[in-house]
Copies of this chain bind each other. A is one copy, B any other.
Amino acid sequence: MARLVMKFGGTSVANVDRIRNVARHVKREIDSGYEVAVVVSAMSGKTNELVAWVNDASKLYDPREYDSIVASGEQVTSGLLALALNEIGVRARSWQGWQIPVRTDDAHGSARIQSIDPTRLAEGFARGEVAVIAGFQGVHEATGRITTLGRGGSDTSAVAVAAAISAERCDIYTDVDGVYTTDPRIVPKARRLDRIAFEEMLEMASLGAKVLQVRSVEVAMVHRVKTFVRSSFDDPLDPRPGTLICDEEDIVEQQVVTGIAFSRDEAQITLRRVADKPGVAASIFGPLAEANINVDMIIQVVSDDAMTTDLTFTVGNADFERAKAILEKNWADIGLQSLHGATDVVKVSAIGVGMRSHAGVAARAFRALADKGVNIRAITTSEIKFSVLIDAEYTELAVRTLHTLYGLDKP
């Protein structure tokens, strides 16, 4: 029998009424002949409550205890959904990460799934049971301790389960009805995409679109899991299909640009008149890497004195103060004259696999933005996307300009 994974996030299971609604979605798929695994998040708000207690109990908390405490939220939801399914005549049982098991490494708080054993889940399917799986969690087998995958980890749980049980597809139910060309709150003309390529979705998620966790898209891409993003608030008996994330080849009418993403979670650091000598880049970026700070856009230009170099790069907003402190500590090593930082910057990106076969896609954007008076602080490009760093106040203008420029406004 064909298998299906359905994933429901926190707002979709926020209370027992909503959980009953989820049960109706699951029943629809059972009635149409699937073996179903459901992956659930904690009831919305519960994870925050638990995290607040952890922070109250211990400022520098042991991440192993954090994981055990926070994973209890999904434990509750998985049990309640199993009960709600039983109540409408659908056989079901809950599964915690350690019961399956979902094996992870021991990076508590942001663990990576290493393998998911499908044996016991398959036994459950053979008994005619829906498997209701607590998302976001796994177990580190050597220590026997509960791990969690980090915020949004239930998406990754779902896709990884789909790969493990060879599911026909993985449906991610959320509070929007699919993936949009950009955030509809900024561009009312934004359209829902019927399909989007794995690579594009990966860039969209990495570059600020919040609809899916980046890691879940990576897993879907590697294992070629056909993944739908769709709405849990649709009528359970007649839902819309949502957006399919699939292979590039399965998308017939490919646009050059598929979507516009933006991220406010950026900070810019500029180092002026850095000595232009071998090893200087290592002395700057080495200590940042050691401190687990991701550096994104890097631009190096010859300084106005023509003898030194100016270096601009971006880090995540949350790492800004820490990055500055590290650089100031290594001031002498680096041999720089001044350090400037800014957090009122935004990264706007255009993504599309069509860029591979079309030249000059980014150049058109630079011109259009210049025409609107938007100053570009930094640029990065890759095969299927480009990003510009701009002043935060121009965010909406830039997003709308690019959305129109690449023909995404059209119905």
Contacts and interface: CB of A to CB of B under 8 A. Distances in A.
Interface string A77-114: 01110111011000001101011000000000000000
A99 B144 contact: yes
Interface string A58-91: 1101101110110111011011101110110000
A50 interface: yes
B58 A68 contact: no
Contacts of A64: 93
Contacts of A40: none
A86 B58 contact: yes
A58 B76 CA distance: 14
Contact of A57 (B83, B99, B144): B83
B79 A68 contact: yes
A54 B83 contact: yes
Contacts of A82: 62, 65
Interface in A1-58: 16, 19-20, 50, 53-54, 56-58
Contacts of A50: 76
A68 B94 contact: yes
A82 B65 CA distance: 7
A68 to B, nearest CB: 5
Contacts of A61: 83, 86
A38 to B, nearest CB: 14
Contacts of A58: 83-84, 86-87
Copy count, this protein chain:
2
Given A65-B93, A96-B68, A87 B57 contact: yes
Nearest to A84: B57
A22 B56 CA distance: 15
Contacts of A144: 99
B83 A72 contact: no
Nearest to A96: B68
A69 B80 contact: yes
Chain B CB within 10 Å, residue with most, of A56, A57, A145 = A57
Contact of A75 (B16, B56, B68): B68
B53 A76 contact: yes
Nearest to A54: B83
A54 B80 contact: yes
Contacts of A20: 57
Nearest to A144: B99
A99 B144 CA distance: 7
Contacts of A80: 53-54, 57, 65, 69
B72 A75 contact: yes
A57 B16 contact: yes
Interface of A: 16, 19-20, 50, 53-54, 56-59, 61-62, 64-66, 68-69, 71-73, 75-76, 78-80, 82-84, 86-87, 93-94, 96, 98-99, 144-146
9 contacts: A53-B80, A57-B80, A62-B86, A62-B93, A65-B80, A68-B94, A69-B80, A96-B146, A99-B145
